[in-house]
Chains A and B, each alone.
Chain A
């Protein structure tokens, strides 16, 4: 079974608009972490934002915010005021396990295209 599910293979958004990229996860660990990464066409993976399973508040980093709904096991990424440079592949990832045996699982990604 998929542990990280990104149901949107591709998304379009108009420049300056906000966009939400969906991510749902499945784990039985009480302690886990959720990450979002951006991968431009050049290939590098850029860390955007982190949410810990025990964090009470939704994480925010500049224009990025994570809509964490623990009961629904969702961790959607919200990008506000989209820019052309936001066009890229976005991966949701989950960290499971204990220190020393961490395992990271990535979703299949969502390709975002920002339109001028």
Chain B
């Protein structure tokens, strides 16, 4: 159980393109979803937290207009990287959490984004 599907797994696109990444909880209702960014050989950096039906809470230094997050249902959250540039190239990984506090986050498989 507790499967999180993240799509696409790889994206290569030109500078200036907007890219949408989907994160779905397949077999549980995700009350909270998290979006992380991970640079090579580094830890996960939390970008934003979203609760279903409400606006995402962004971490300091993360541009809201650059990284648009929508959490429209209990099973789907999307991250849109708008007008992506090479410096946005990274590994983006979502996670979903349901239930009580001691339930772990369950992670998607991540999206490798390369902006040319």
Contact = CB atoms under 8 A, between A and B. Distances in A.
Interface of A: 31, 33, 35, 37, 42-47, 50, 52, 91, 95, 99-109
A72 to B, nearest CB: 22
Interface residues of B, number: 24
A91 B45 CA distance: 12
Contacts of B105: 35, 47, 104
Given A43-B110, A44-B107, A109 B43 contact: yes
Nearest to A35: B104
A52 B102 CA distance: 7
A106 B43 contact: yes
Contact of A106 (B32, B44, B100, B109): B44
B51 A100 contact: yes
Contacts of B106: 47
Q: Is the interface of B mostly helix, strand, loop or mixed?
A: strand
A64 to B, nearest CB: 13
B69 interface: no
Nearest to B45: A106
Given A37-B107, A99-B100, A108 B43 contact: yes
B102 A45 contact: no
B93 interface: yes
Contacts of B108: 44
26 contacts: A31-B101, A33-B101, A33-B102, A42-B109, A43-B91, A43-B93, A43-B109, A43-B110, A45-B44, A45-B107, A46-B107, A47-B104, A47-B106, A50-B102, A52-B101, A52-B102, A91-B43, A91-B44, A99-B100, A101-B57, A102-B101, A104-B34, A104-B46, A106-B44, A108-B42, A109-B42
